[in-house]
Amino acid sequence: MAYLKFENVTLQYPIYNAKNMSLRNQLVRIGTGGQLSKETNDILTVTALSNVSFELHDGDAVGLVGHNGAGKTTLLRTMAGIYTPISGRITREGRVTTVVELGAGLDAELSGYENIFRMGMLLGASHSDMDNTIPDIESFTELGDFLSMPVRTYSSGMMMRLMFAVGTAVRPEILLMDEIFGAGDAAFQEKAKNRMKKLIETAKIFVFASHSPDLIKKYCRRIFILEHGVINEKLT
C-alpha cells in the first residue's frame, strides 16, 4: 500500500539582503511563483506552499501544472522529504523515488560503476538494491567498458544515459517525476520514454510535473494547478 497526505502544509524560506536587490532580480532569483512578504528591511520571505492539503492513494496519477517558477519542483521535493515545511503535517507510506534532478551526487572522478552506487544510495536505495540493478543499467546505457572508467572521460550523451538509468533503476511505490522527456538524441528519447512508461506502470502513486497537456492527459487522472503557493485541483 502507498499513501501520501499533506495536511495544511506551508513551506517558507528567507531571502537575505533583499534590501540590496531590485524586486525584478528578487523574482528571478526566487523562481518559485510563491507569495512574497517582508520580515525586516533586509529579509524577504517566500511562501512557496501555503496551507496545502491533499491525499493520494494507490492508483492515483497526478499531473502538476503551472507557469515556470510556479513551484512544481518545490512541491515534488517537499513530497519526497527533501524540503521540510514550517507548519502542517506530511504522511508517507511506501518507497519514494524521485526523478527530479538527474545526476545528484555524481562524481566525475569516480567510475561509472562507483557512481551507480553513489547516486543510487543518495536516492534512498540500499547497496543491495543497486547491486541488483547493475545488469539492467549495463543493458540500458550500452556503455560497456566505459562503466569501469572515470565519468570525466564520458561525452555529455554518455553521462546522460548513466544518470537517467540510475534515476529510473529502482522500482518505486511512489514515483515523483519532473519533466525530462526532452533529454538526449532521438534514439535516446525513445528508449527513455519506453523505460519511463514501464516505471510509471509499476508505481502505485505517480506525480508528474509537466508543461505538456498531451503527456498530462496520457499519464494522469488528476491535475493539481499551482499558483502563488496554492493548489487547485481538477480531473482530466
Q: What are the tens digits of pLDDT across the range 112-165?
A: 999 999 998 887 788 999 999 999 999 999 999 999 999 999 998 899 899 989
Q: Which residue has the higher pLDDT, 181 or 162?
A: 162
pTM: 0.78
Q: Which of 166, 165, 177, 227 is nearest to 61 (CA)?
A: 177
Q: What are the tens digits of pLDDT across the range 91-101?
A: 999 988 887 76
Flag the least confident range among 36-45, 63-72, 142-151.
36-45
Q: What is the DSSP string of 85-111?
A: -SEEEEEEES-EEEESSTTTT--TTSB
Residues of 21-33 as b/e, b for ≥16 C-beta within 10 angstroms?
Answer: eeeeeeeeebebb
In this model, does residue 21 exceed pLDDT 80? no
Q: Secondary structure of the chain: what % helix, strand, coil (to 5)?
A: 40, 30, 30
Question: Are the C-beta atoms of residues 35 and 214 closer than 8 Å to each other?
Answer: no
Flag the least confident range among 28-42, 61-75, 184-198.
28-42
Average pLDDT along the chain: 85
Where do we find the cell 554518455?
A: 158
Specify the 3-state DSSP secondary structure of 82: coil
User: Please, what are the domains in the chain?
Assistant: 3-94+210-235 (3.40.50.300), 99-203 (3.40.50.300)
Please report how the helices 156-167 and 186-202 are oriented relative to each other, as an axis angle in degrees rounded to 10: 10
User: Would you state the pLDDT for residue 28?
Assistant: 46
